[in-house]
C-alpha cells in the first residue's frame, strides 16, 4: 500500500513535506497522522490510509511534493492488496486532458479578464498553454508563462547587485506560504482594478459599550459589517467575467487576516450575520489562535465573502489593503487614536478609528462605496446590541 499526498483542499496541488512522523519499521494504524505538509494555505496533517508497517520512505522532509506523489510504502496483510494505488494511476491522464492545449491553428480560449491582462502585458495568448478543461487559459496560466518568460530572458546577475560586496548577507528560501501570498497578491493587483476610500469613525460610544460587555471593538465591527453586507449585497458578491454574471452570496463569511510568523493567513469566520456578539468573540479568538499555531483546518481558509485586515493591535493609521479576490472588497482597520474634531462648532478630542475600503471597481462604483462607508460609520458610531 502506498501513502500518497492526498488532495488537501480545492485548488491546492502540493506543498512542502515538513515532517515525517514515523520511520521505517514503525507500525501505523488507519487514520493515524504520519505526515505534516505545509501548503500555500496552512499546515496539514496527513493520516495513514490503512494499518500496516512502514516499509520504505521515498521522500525526505524539506522536499516539494505534489498531490498523488508516493511518500512511503506500507506493508500490509493480504486482505486488501488491491488498494495499492490503482485509483491514482487511473487518474493520471486527467490533468493531461484538462490541460490539453487548444488545437493547432485554433484561437486561444480564455475569459475576458485573462484577455484584458494579456493586452496589458502585450502577450500573445496563443503561446500560453491552458491547463483548464478544453485548454482554457486561466490567470494562473498567464502568470506561470510570464514567470517562465522572465526566467528565460533574464540576464544572469542583472536583476540584483551582489549585496555581499557591501557587507554580510544571509539568505533563506521562501516558504510555500510566502510564495502563495506573493502569487495571490500579484494576481489580485494586476487583474482587479482597485479603488480605495478612506474615513474615520468616532468610536467613543462603541468602545465604552464593548468594554461594558467584555468584548473587543473588533467584535462589534464584525457584527456591524454583517448587518451592512445584508443591506449592501454588492459588497458581498463576486464577479464572474467568464459567464458574464454577478454572484450574490446569501451567506456572510468574513475572512480575518491574521499575522503569523510565516506570513499573513486569512481564516474565515462563517455566518457572522447569524451569530450574537458572544459567539463571534469566542469563535474569533479560537480561530485566530489556531491560525497562529498553524493548526487551522484547510476548510477554514476557504469561502470568504468579504475580508477584514485589522492592524489596530500593531499601530498605524490608514493603509491600502489589496482585495482578497474573488471577494469584491476588503476593509482595512487602523489603530484608534485621540484626535481634535469639531462637534457642535466646538473643538473637542475624540477617539477616531481610521478605516479604509478597497474594492473591485469592475463591480462596485464609487457612489456605492461612499454609501457603504457612510452607513458603516453610522452603524458603528451608534452601535446597538440587538
Which residues participate in catalysis according to the annotation? 361
DSSP state string for 173-226: PPPHHHHHHHHHHHHHHHHS-EEEEEEEEE-HHHHHHHHHHT--HHHHHHHHHH
**Beta-bridge mates of residue 346:** 343
Q: What is the rounded distance in angstroms from the CA atom of residue 24 to the CA atom of residue 133?
A: 40
Contacts of 209 (CB under 8 A, 6+ apart): 220, 383, 385
**Beta-bridge mates of residue 349:** 340
What are the backbone angles phi and psi of residue 92, rounded to the nearest 5°?
Answer: -60, -40
Q: Is the peptide bond before 56 cis (omega within 30 degrees of 0)?
A: no
Q: What is the rounded distance in angstroms from the CA atom of residue 362 to the CA atom of residue 195?
A: 10
Strands 329-333 and 306-310: parallel
Q: What is the rounded distance in angstroms from the CA atom of residue 352 to the CA atom of residue 140?
A: 41
Q: What is the rounded distance in angstroms from the CA atom of residue 231 to the CA atom of residue 254?
A: 15
Contact present, 248 and 263 (Cβ < 8 Å): no
- Residue 283, exposed/middle/buried by CB under 10 A (0-12, 13-18, 19+)? middle
Amino acid at each position: 500500500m502506498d501513502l500518497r499526498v492526498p488532495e488537501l483542499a480545492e485548488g491546492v496541488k502540493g506543498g512542502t513535506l515538513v515532517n515525517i512522523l514515523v520511520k521505517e519499521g514503525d507500525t501505523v494504524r488507519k487514520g493515524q497522522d504520519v505526515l505534516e505538509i505545509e501548503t500555500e494555505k496552512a499546515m496539514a496533517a496527513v493520516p495513514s490510509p490503512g494499518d500496516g508497517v512502514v516499509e520504505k520512505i521515498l521522500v525526505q522532509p524539506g522536499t516539494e511534493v505534489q498531490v498523488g506523489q508516493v511518500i512511503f510504502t506500507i506493508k500490509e496483510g493480504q486482505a486488501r492488496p488491491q488498494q495499492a494505488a490503482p485509483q491514482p494511476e487511473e487518474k493520471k491522464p486527467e490533468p493531461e486532458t484538462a490541460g490539453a492545449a487548444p488545437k493547432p491553428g485554433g484561437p486561444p480560449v480564455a475569459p475576458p479578464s485573462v484577455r484584458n491582462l494579456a493586452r496589458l502585458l502585450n502577450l500573445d495568448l496563443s503561446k500560453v498553454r491552458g491547463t483548464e478543461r478544453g485548454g482554457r487559459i486561466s490567470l494562473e496560466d498567464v502568470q506561470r508563462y510570464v514567470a517562465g518568460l522572465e526566467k528565460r530572458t533574464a540576464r544572469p546577475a542583472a536583476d540584483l547587485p551582489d549585496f555581499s560586496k557591501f557587507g554580510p548577507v544571509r539568505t533563506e528560501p521562501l516558504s510555500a506560504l510566502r510564495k502563495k501570498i506573493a502569487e495571490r497578491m500579484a494576481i489580485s493587483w494586476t487583474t482587479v482594478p482597485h479603488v480605495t476610500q478612506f474615513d474615520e469613525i468616532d468610536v467613543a460610544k462603541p468602545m465604552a459599550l464593548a468594554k461594558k460587555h467584555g468584548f473587543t471593538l473588533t467584535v462589534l465591527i464584525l457584527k456591524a459589517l454583517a448587518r451592512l453586507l445584508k443591506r449592501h449585497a454588492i459588497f458581498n458578491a463576486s464577479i464572474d467575467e467568464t459567464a458574464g454574471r454577478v454572484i450574490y452570496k446569501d451567506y456572510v463569511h468574513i475572512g480575518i487576516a491574521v499575522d503569523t510568523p510565516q506570513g499573513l493567513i486569512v481564516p474565515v469566520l462563517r455566518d457572522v450575520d447569524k451569530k450574537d456578539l458572544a459567539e463571534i468573540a469566542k469563535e474569533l479568538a479560537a480561530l485566530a489562535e489556531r491560525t497562529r499555531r498553524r493548526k487551522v483546518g484547510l476548510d477554514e481558509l476557504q469561502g470568504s465573502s468579504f475580508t477584514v485586515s485589522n492592524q489596530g493591535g500593531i499601530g498605524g493609521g490608514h493603509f491600502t489593503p489589496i482585495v482578497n479576490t474573488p471577494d469584491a472588497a476588503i476593509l482595512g482597520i487602523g489603530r484608534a487614536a485621540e484626535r481634535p474634531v469639531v462637534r457642535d462648532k466646538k473643538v473637542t478630542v475624540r477617539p477616531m478609528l481610521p478605516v479604509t475600503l478597497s474594492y473591485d471597481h469592475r463591480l462596485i462604483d464609487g457612489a456605492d462605496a461612499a454609501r457603504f462607508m457612510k452607513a458603516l460609520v453610522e452603524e458603528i458610531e451608534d452601535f446597538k446590541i440587538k
